[in-house]
Structure 1
Amino acid sequence: MKQIFIKKTMVLFLLCVPTLIMAQSVIKGTIKDASTGEVLPGANVVIKGTTQGTTADFDGNFTIEIMDFPKTLVISSVGYKTVELNITNDNFIQVSLEEGVALDEVILVGNRSKPRTILDSSVPIDNIGVAELVNTGQPTVDKMLTYKVPSFNSTNQTISDATAHFDPADLRGLGPSRTLVLVNGKRKNQSALVYINDTPGKGEVGVDLKSIPAAAIERIEVLRDGASAQYGSDAIAGVINMVLKNNVEFTTVNVKSGITTEGDGFNLGADINSSLSIGENGGYLNLTFGYYQQEETNRAGTPGEDVLFGVAANDPTWGDWLSRNPDLGMTVGQPELKKGDAFFNAGVPFKNGKGKFYTFGGMTYRVGKSFALYRAPYWVGDPFNLLHEPGTEYQGFQPTFETDIRDNNSTVGVEFDLLGLDVDLSGTYGRNAVDYEVNNSLNPALGASSPTSFDVGAYTFSNTLANLDFSKNFGQASIAFGAELKNERFTAEAGEPASYAGSGAQSFPGLQPSNAVEASRDNYGVYGDLEWEPTDKFLIGGAIRYEDFSDFGDNTSWKVSSRYLLGDKKGALRASYSTGFRAPSLHQIYLSNIQTLVSGGTISNQGTFNNVDPVIREGLGVPQLTAETSKNISAGITFKPVSNLSLSVDYYNVKVDDRVLFTGEIGFDGDDNSTNPVEQILLDNSITSLKFFVNAVNTNTSGVDLVANYRNLEMGNGMLSLTLAANFNETTIEGEIDTPDLLAANGYEIFNRKEQSRITSARPKSKVLLGIDYNISEWNFALNNTYFGEVSWQHSNNGLNGVDFGNGPLPLDDAAYDQTFSGKVITDLIIGYNFSDRISGNIAINNLLNVYPDEIDTKGDFVTDLGGRFRYPWEVSQFGFNGTILNAGLTFKF
């Protein structure tokens, strides 16, 4: 292991050493206000098509180094029109900016008719450039956003079947299903997976954020406000719009690598982004290709005994095996992953300059391997020597859960002028597919004929959309209206017969023919959007949208918003109120399967029945799934007292009614004298418990977002920037859970304390980001501190059956088994150096202080950590448990 660690560390070192140093030229200049002649400190100067740039000092002066001429400089400042200058020599230049809107502050999301700046917006929006994303040191977009947006959360999952390969992500703690993701303003397809394991986001469906490479992204706009009236279903918590790169000046190549200080989790990646010119009118084709791979990590517990199966450390038969395998054979950590990306973004303007043809999209292909619970030799035998050589001591086996994931989306459209209206006509297709295999396993029911690798089934989800959008800016007023047609399709394919015969393959019985499904639905929507500025300070807007779904009916959502600019445009007061909705996903309506559960040494099979199954609809009286509805209110203030300092504070409250939930386990009631109707269903289907989806919960989420930026402070010979961003939130369940009458009459609780805590306390209720960025000469130093607030895990019945720690049973009102995991600060250090304007390198140390979550305290209930197999929390999530990660990278431009 030490030799492997040394070799991989050498890879990191080599990535940090430049192989080419070139001579440089220096451009100097001054930036002033065109109308007053006053200098503009803090103005941005960027070499077009790159992230290399600088800022003007307090005298408006700047210096920037380049490799060769000619170069185009993009010069901008908040509140001024952007200027592009073609530089052919190193003469001193003077630039005058006129009042207007800076290009790098323009946002597209949140308004269908007129792009605005963050200051002008009536709702809170984050605008995150690619340099900020990369500067987190994180490998994928979902993790980058976690360390840039306080209200966004996503962490690695473990021992959770396919969920470990997708990692549920959410905004404002409202679950993965309630955040709409756009690419260039067009809807991105959801993934094919429903998160059905005991993780945050259980029972929900999200977009596969690992399928969009950071190298293809110019910036990400995060709208932190309900937007169903503008964009339709799923936008209850907000909208994430990923804007792709277009006509870049340079071809950029990035290579990167990393490893944990434990010597595992080695990763390696490379990507290339470039543009080609098309035609003579500024047409472009931007291309991105990337590859990334990572190895697994392991942070398993080491109990040295197995209380779940009653095997003590000194067991006469298995004590020797336990002493050699104190971790019970487990691998608990991030999964293996290999990923390839290919993305494109193209636009060709018309010759008359009144429109353009555009197309964009991409495909991601990745394979992954995660791990199931280790089957110790006293748990599952191998009498036919399928997983060990004859004559050798049988050691047990750890099944692997392996995925083959394809995600592709593409949009083709045309923008043109029609009767004075701006028209956008487009078509979009997106698809996500995941195939499952269980390997290094067996099916005991098949005896000697059992295979050791199983095809256990597959899921796909796709959508096809047609959009027609009209907009017009009349000066003080802007209008937009349009329509959308959408078709969605969900399929589930059965696994091979050997995977589900008898009790099925160990760890995950395959999907059976009865679980196979091919379902689709159609919907159409029409919307209107109006904004009016009766004065240069006051803005009022409204939107309304009607949608009709072929499977459950229709919905009308609306929104009103307003903004008032403070004196001299130093800030703004803003507020909005909206209604929203989320259509139940096809996955939630039609998913069914069988899962293997382990609890207290008992192995059992649990059945998930879909919402159209007669067992659910007729047998249990569960109603048809319908849309969730929401009411969203937000109010805030932005303030810019000086040119370098900006502040914003926003309050929000989101009420969601009829929230779709995935019930807890519904099993036998323990009364052996009679069989109730629910138990009869279990017996008829040879399962020990069942689950289903139902509209049953109303939730209330309140919170505050805070963002403060203090940029371009002169410190010595360099420039210092400070960022403080925070989110504080709380979600509560209001009223009683709507339990179907038959289940209520027989004493069943469909959503117990543990399942409720997944909504109310599985994600941090507070998160604070403090970033310090210092640029001096060719160096960049970034120190980011992220505080992840506490999370709580609640036991299904809180030990109310009574537990005795030696002093008698605990009182019923004590938290016998619950545990709160305290808040922690994760510190990241990133050091960058520009060897030239073509070559740069960086070293990132993520989790510099090697912080881990609190360890699990079973409090006498050893099922909470599966008998010590889990050292750190896995059913609630803060920041994962990989420890310190060392990363390094090089960037080349040519």
Structure 2
Amino acid sequence: MGHILKKHILLLLMLAPVLVLGQNVIQGKVSDSGNGDLLPGVNVVVKGTTTGTTTDFDGNYELNVGSLPVTLVFSSIGFKSHEILVSSAGTVNVTLDEGLMLQEVIILGNRSKPRTVIGSPVPIDNIGVAELKNTGQPTVDKMLTYKVPSFNSSTQAVSDGTAHFDPADLRGLGPSRTLVLVNGKRKNLSSLVYINDTPGKGEVGVDLKSVPSAAIERIEVLRDGASAQYGSDAIAGVINMVLKRNVAYTTVGASSGITTEGDGFNFAADVNSSINLGEDGGFLNLTLGYYKQEKTNRAGTPGEDTLFGVPANDPDWGSWLAANPDLGMNVGQPELKKIDMFFNAGVPFKNGNGELYTFGGLTYRQGTSFALYRTPYWIPDPFNLLHAPGTTYQGFQPTFETDVRDNNATVGVKWKLFTMDVDLSGTYGRNAVDYDVSNSINQDLGANSPTTFDVGAYTFSNTLANLDFSKDLGTVSIAFGAELRGERFTAMAGEPASYFGAGTQSFPGLQPSNVVEATRENFGLYGELEWEPTDRILFGGAVRYEDFSDFGDNTSWKVNGRYLLGDNQGAIRASYSTGFRAPALHQIYLSNIQTLVSGGTISNQGTFNNVDPIIRDGLGVPQLTAETSKNITAGFTYKPIENLSFAVDFYNVKIDDRVLFTNEIGFDGDATTDNPVEEILLANDITSLKFFINAVNTNTTGVDVVASYSNIAMGNGNLGVNIAANFNNTKIEGEIKTPAILASNGYQMFNRKEQARITKVRPKSKVLLGLDYAIEKWNFILNNTYFGEVSWDHGSDPQKDQVFAGKVITDLILGYDFSDKISANIGINNLLNVYPDELDPKGDVVTDLGGRFRYPWEVNQFGYAGTIINAGISLKF
């Protein structure tokens, strides 16, 4: 009896660790094979599922896998991923080898089998949060600008709502043609159409300021057409923001900066942490962020006003011009305050065969930008509304103030069904912007005019349901699924005082006739197939059918292939695809009246929507329909030695029937007013009109080059060198499809300036050279970014065209690790204080608005803030 009892006690002691930890618990440590350091934040995932965890600050992990055997995948940015088959519970220690960007595992571009960048049949960038922060930029859109050569985003000035959203695009194809995902789910568009004379005019994009960098683990950028896989908008490529999961520690960061001119002060603070949910690897990751920036001012100082014909020695206004040589202007980045709250959560099933997940966030920001200064000789204030009685009237500069809310949330479940991986999810996203104009008047209201006006609001929302199936069958992988999507766009009128008579100075409010509540639905089906007949050869294909309730259906398809070189030393790859982009609801239904400067005069421009009988019947403009595209990509990756890699990819994108915003169409200048356009102008009391139309075919050709050489021994430290470049050229093919009524009356829809906005306003070349040297506790980063030349073409006179030369922006960042948990950095962005070429007075008065603008405002390579000095600190606990 005693012998049997001892045996049971011994057995219990042997099983105690298992009983405490759970039946199938795997635990261990993950370390760096090079120096033996324990690695925090390593992803540990059960292959083929989303069940996983991350190592804590001391490199420990613990995972309940439910059933055995399983294959665990260990991955971390900067290290090669490692797979290991585990047949029994217990301790499994793993070491990771340092790796290259080409070895990092990505999920974008395929649903059934995760691949490395080097093994992908299409070009994909995998950018970790550390790389993003090493650009020294404050927001995600600017980080990508200084990290991805084919991505461009720059701050706009004196451009109403556009100043608060910063149009961004891939390959110079416009914001509308880049699809943005969060954790693989479609992100909602912004509610704003960029209707001002900026890059991306007439386009609709995603508000990239609405996802804080502190919530992001990495960003995957697919530089290839992907409509057949992901649907509308993916003509230029796809950006997938992957949120942080179960991080090993809480991180608190703070940073601040200011220009050497003493303006543009910014301050940012954020915290990211996670909470364990249950004992099976569940997690809740939370991010809270705050960002504030003050305005910059780089206005011109002409000392005279050629826009209104007021010379410097004018007997009435010469003294005012001498005291205000900048004509009262404020030209630069807007004021901004932003708060972000994001979450990402997952709870695995008890049996380890699935996961319930949810993620999303809310961004709220307030912004103030500035309109043209109303000089005292331009707009009088006879009722002392904007100046105190007894004082000399100085004029006024209206402010354009925005309240932007962007929120999105996804809830889904992943599980195994008959050995297939199934993902069912629902997503809701919304972007709303409310506009106020302050420090302004409505002259037609006289003494009763307010000085602050609610001028209207826009909202856009989408609701999605996705059902995806995938299966890795070894040499064959399949995926298929369906998507239901509903969209809603609204435009709300401003207060009556904002649109009474001529309306508020700078932005007449949206009128009741501009009110919109438009909806549509679409249904999509897709299928994907990949076949690997050998370890080196891969063939893939995808097809997608979508049916839209407002304009019809579309079918797109894609084929690709890849051949691996040597022992995973590189690959030759190519793809061909068709694509499409549905016109945004905004582009179909937007209408308004806007104050603008044209030919030296101030006028009111009317935007008419595509369903208005005035446009459809009166001018013969056809119904908007989808753009279609043909995209070819071919290139190679090569890794001749362990730490050196290259990737070169050629691409050609042909887009038919681009949805574009016309130029101003006004009076033809003759003595009669009997053509259809002029009848519309007179009937609506406007001086010009615009509308959206499918009218232009374009052809874009380019090449992306990426080279990386890491871990170069230099003294007691290691040097990393990264070179990336994009070269591209877009041209308009064939005739512009002008409706017969307009053509017969001698009207152009897209003059030289608007054509150049498609082909010349983004750099045709951009080259990034990054040097990263780490020694002991120090880290030195030197980034050089070359922005190629851009051009502004005059609407009708080639003699007034202007070319702005390419420039190199140099950024220097010094980092120091006080300990494993405390680090700090000092950065200097635009170290050499480089500015764009100044505007040449040879252009007409609209080019620089009578000297008000010193630097180009309709084309913009990298902004004009000058040198910015910043510093930051990061704490982990």
TM-score by length of 1: 0.90
Distance 2:834 2:680 in 1: 47
- Structure 2 residue matching 1:229: 3-state secondary structure: helix
Residue in 1 that maps onto 2:119:
120
Distance 1:310 1:596 in 2: 20
Residue in 2 that maps onto 1:469:
468
Name the amino acid aligned to 2:841.
T
Residue in 1 that maps onto 2:327:
328
Distance 1:756 1:459 in 2: 28
- Structure 1 residue matching 2:245: 3-state secondary structure: coil
Contact 2:807–2:836 (8 Å) recurs in 1: yes
Residue in 1 that maps onto 2:827:
844
Does the C-alpha gap of structure 1 residues 68 and 525 become closer, same or farther in structure 2, counting only changes over 3 Å?
A: closer
Does the C-alpha gap of structure 1 residues 124 and 67 become closer, same or farther in structure 2, counting only changes over 3 Å?
A: closer
> Displacement, 1:862?
2.2
C-alpha deviations, 1:223-275, integer Å up to 9, x for none? 00000000000000000000000000100000010000000000011000000
Whether 1:337 aligns to 2:336 is: yes
Q: Find 2:39's aligned residue among 25, 34, 47.
A: 47
Distance 1:367 1:68 in 2: 37
> Displacement, 1:112?
2.1
Residue in 2 that maps onto 1:719:
718
Residue in 2 that maps onto 1:489:
488
C-alpha deviations, 1:150-182, integer Å up to 9, x for none? 000000000000000000000010000000000
Q: Which moved more, 1:667-676 or 1:248-257?
A: 667-676
Q: Which aligned pairs between 1:325-474 and structure 2 lie closer than 5 A?
A: 325-474=324-473
> Displacement, 1:354?
0.2
Name the amino acid aligned to 1:651.
F
Name the amino acid aligned to 1:81.
H
Name the amino acid aligned to 1:830.
I
Whether 1:826 aligns to 2:818 is: no
Q: How many residues align?
A: 821
Does the C-alpha gap of structure 1 residues 601 and 383 become closer, same or farther in structure 2, counting only changes over 3 Å?
A: farther
> Displacement, 1:863?
1.8
Q: Which aligned pairs between 1:491-570 and structure 2 lie closer than 5 A?
A: 491-570=490-569
Q: Which aligned pairs between 1:630-641 and structure 2 lie closer than 5 A?
A: 630-641=629-640
Does the C-alpha gap of structure 1 residues 284 and 767 become closer, same or farther in structure 2, counting only changes over 3 Å?
A: same
Residue in 1 that maps onto 2:784:
785
- Structure 1 residue matching 2:375: 3-state secondary structure: coil
> Displacement, 1:665?
0.2
Does the C-alpha gap of structure 1 residues 424 and 94 become closer, same or farther in structure 2, counting only changes over 3 Å?
A: closer
Residue in 1 that maps onto 2:71:
none
- Structure 1 residue matching 2:617: 3-state secondary structure: helix
> Displacement, 1:113?
1.7
Whether 1:673 aligns to 2:672 is: yes
- Structure 2 residue matching 1:730: 3-state secondary structure: strand
Name the amino acid aligned to 1:388.
H
> Displacement, 1:47?
2.9
Contact 1:75–1:84 (8 Å) recurs in 2: no
- Structure 2 residue matching 1:572: 3-state secondary structure: strand
- Structure 2 residue matching 1:615: 3-state secondary structure: helix
Does the C-alpha gap of structure 1 residues 762 and 481 become closer, same or farther in structure 2, counting only changes over 3 Å?
A: same
C-alpha deviations, 1:288-347, integer Å up to 9, x for none? 000000000000000000011010000000000000000000000000000000000000
Q: Which aligned pairs between 1:852-867 and structure 2 lie closer than 5 A?
A: 852-859=835-842, 861-867=844-850
- Structure 2 residue matching 1:514: 3-state secondary structure: helix
C-alpha deviations, 1:599-651, integer Å up to 9, x for none? 34422100000000000001001000000000000000100000000100000
Structure 2 unaligned regions, length at least 5: 1-28, 44-54, 63-73, 87-91
Contact 1:112–1:230 (8 Å) recurs in 2: no
Name the amino acid aligned to 2:806.
G
C-alpha deviations, 1:107-144, integer Å up to 9, x for none? 01111221110011000000000000011110000000
Residue in 1 that maps onto 2:140:
141
Q: Find 2:865's aligned residue among 882, 885, 889.
A: 882
Name the amino acid aligned to 1:822.
A
Distance 1:28 1:275 in 2: 20
Q: Find 1:872's aligned residue among 837, 855, 866.
A: 855
Whether 1:753 aligns to 2:752 is: yes
Name the amino acid aligned to 1:843.
I
Residue in 1 that maps onto 2:175:
176
Distance 1:405 1:555 in 2: 33
RMSD after superposition: 2.2
Name the amino acid aligned to 1:563.
R
Q: Which aligned pairs between 1:764-779 and structure 2 lie closer than 5 A?
A: 764-779=763-778
- Structure 2 residue matching 1:816: 3-state secondary structure: helix
Does the C-alpha gap of structure 1 residues 563 and 452 become closer, same or farther in structure 2, counting only changes over 3 Å?
A: same
Distance 2:563 2:326 in 1: 61
Does the C-alpha gap of structure 1 residues 70 and 861 become closer, same or farther in structure 2, counting only changes over 3 Å?
A: closer
Name the amino acid aligned to 1:838.
K
> Displacement, 1:80?
5.3
Residue in 1 that maps onto 2:703:
704
> Displacement, 1:44?
9.9
Contact 2:40–2:59 (8 Å) recurs in 1: no
Distance 2:31 2:432 in 1: 53
Paired-residue identity, %: 75
Contact 2:593–2:607 (8 Å) recurs in 1: yes
Name the amino acid aligned to 2:529.
L
- Structure 1 residue matching 2:875: 3-state secondary structure: strand
Distance 1:408 1:280 in 2: 31
Contact 1:493–1:511 (8 Å) recurs in 2: yes
Distance 2:98 2:848 in 1: 61
Residue in 2 that maps onto 1:891:
874
C-alpha deviations, 1:495-544, integer Å up to 9, x for none? 00000011100000000000000000000000000000000000000000
- Structure 1 residue matching 2:359: 3-state secondary structure: strand
TM-score by length of 2: 0.91
- Structure 1 residue matching 2:799: 3-state secondary structure: coil
- Structure 2 residue matching 1:759: 3-state secondary structure: helix
C-alpha deviations, 1:396-425, integer Å up to 9, x for none? 000000000000000000001111110000
Q: Which aligned pairs between 1:235-274 and structure 2 lie closer than 5 A?
A: 235-274=234-273
Name the amino acid aligned to 1:543.
A
- Structure 2 residue matching 1:142: 3-state secondary structure: helix
Residue in 2 that maps onto 1:312:
311
Distance 1:879 1:46 in 2: 40
Does the C-alpha gap of structure 1 residues 30 and 667 become closer, same or farther in structure 2, counting only changes over 3 Å?
A: closer
Distance 1:207 1:29 in 2: 39
Distance 2:114 2:187 in 1: 21
Residue in 2 that maps onto 1:81:
82
Contact 2:650–2:704 (8 Å) recurs in 1: yes
Contact 2:41–2:56 (8 Å) recurs in 1: no
Contact 2:42–2:75 (8 Å) recurs in 1: no
Distance 2:433 2:81 in 1: 48
Residue in 2 that maps onto 1:7:
none
Contact 1:761–1:791 (8 Å) recurs in 2: yes
Whether 1:588 aligns to 2:595 is: no
Name the amino acid aligned to 1:827.
T
Contact 2:56–2:248 (8 Å) recurs in 1: no
C-alpha deviations, 1:11-45, integer Å up to 9, x for none? xxxxxxxxxxxxxxxx99883xxxxxxxxx6x996
Residue in 1 that maps onto 2:19:
none
Name the amino acid aligned to 2:153.
S
C-alpha deviations, 1:330-385, integer Å up to 9, x for none? 00000000000000000000000000000000000000000000000000000000
> Displacement, 1:102?
10
> Displacement, 1:70?
7.3
Distance 2:98 2:328 in 1: 66
C-alpha deviations, 1:575-622, integer Å up to 9, x for none? 000000000000000000000012344221000000000000010010
Does the C-alpha gap of structure 1 residues 175 and 96 become closer, same or farther in structure 2, counting only changes over 3 Å?
A: closer
Distance 1:30 1:750 in 2: 61
Distance 2:779 2:175 in 1: 35
Does the C-alpha gap of structure 1 residues 45 and 134 become closer, same or farther in structure 2, counting only changes over 3 Å?
A: farther
Residue in 2 that maps onto 1:8:
none
Whether 1:739 aligns to 2:738 is: yes
